[in-house]
Structure formats: structure tokens, C-alpha cells
Amino acid sequence: MADEVEKLEEEISFGGKLSLRRMIFRVIFIIVLGAILIITGTYFRWDKWIIGGVLLLAGFVTQAWSSLISLIGSIPGVGHVIVKFLALPLLLIINGIGNIIAFLAIKLGYKKEILDTRLLTWAFALGAIIGFIIGELL
């Protein structure tokens, strides 16, 4: 019984330890995102203080957001519903902005480029889904 209680406490703790795979993925993602920002900043000749400040601010904002979401998600019974409710508008806003930009680009005559980017997006999404499924099976 004590083992079951410890297992249950470990499952419901919102500050639990990440698995090694998730931690490595997060570190790699942050490094790639930072590298993209640095390369873009040096290409457009931005000041190094601006690049560093944006990276620092992005780190603080994402950490605060994930902490808030995990705190809300730890509420028994309704926490996961609230988290899903908060995440849905963000996805809809991103999708809406993409559709508006695609509409404007089509009106400006960039039909082939829009088709190429949409196909590339679907390929990446399909690859992410397949990778997730394979990762869960392993």
C-alpha cells in the first residue's frame, strides 16, 4: 500500500522530474531556436544586446507560462479541462493568422509559394505525428 501511495504522489506532483528524453528534447529545441534568432539577428545586423534581451525575455515568458499551466493542470478533476481550454484559443489564433497571411499572399500572386509551404507544413506535421507515435511505442 505504501508503494501505491508513493506512486500516486509522484503522479500528481506538478513539479515532477522530466524524463531524460523530454529534457534533452527541450534543450535541443531551445538551442536551435536561439541559434535561429542569433543567425537572423546577425544577418539583419541587430545589436547584440537586443538579441540577448529577446532570448532572455523569451526564456522568462515560456518558463512562466509553463509553470502557470502546470499549476492549473494540477487541480484535481477540472485542471486538465482548464488547460485544454486555455491552449485551444492560442492554436486558433496561430491558425487564423496563417490563413490571413496565406489569403493576402494569394491575392498578391504567390500561389505556388503558398502551395509549397502548405505541403511542407503538412509533411512536417505528419513527420511529427509519426515520430510521436514511434516514440510512444518505444
Cα Rg of the chain (Å, integer): 20
For the chain, the domains span 1-74, 77-138
Instruction: Give the helix/strand (H/E) hosting 84.
Output: helix 79-107
55 — phi, psi (to 5°)? -65, -45
Could you tell me if 53 and 61 are in contact, meaning their C-beta atoms sit under 8 angstroms apart?
no
- Longest Cα pair distance anywhere in the chain, in angstroms? 67
Portion of the chain with pLDDT greater than 70, in percent: 85
pLDDT at 74: 86
Residue 127: which pLDDT band, with cuts at 50, 70 and 90? confident
Could you tell me if 82 and 75 are in contact, meaning their C-beta atoms sit under 8 angstroms apart?
yes
Work out the average pLDDT over 17-30.
72
Question: Which cell goes with 122?
Answer: 503538412
CB burial readout 109-118, b (16+ within 10 A) else e: eeeeebeeee
pLDDT at 12: 58
The residue behind cell 502548405 is 118
Q: What global pTM score does this model have? A: 0.41
Question: How do residues 43-101 score in pLDDT, each as one tens digit?
Answer: 888 887 887 888 788 778 878 888 888 888 888 888 888 887 777 777 778 788 888 88
Helices then strands, counting H and E runs in the chain, come out as 5, 0
The residue behind cell 484535481 is 76
Say whether pLDDT at 28 is over 70. yes
Please tell me which residue, 13 or 81, carries the higher pLDDT value: 81
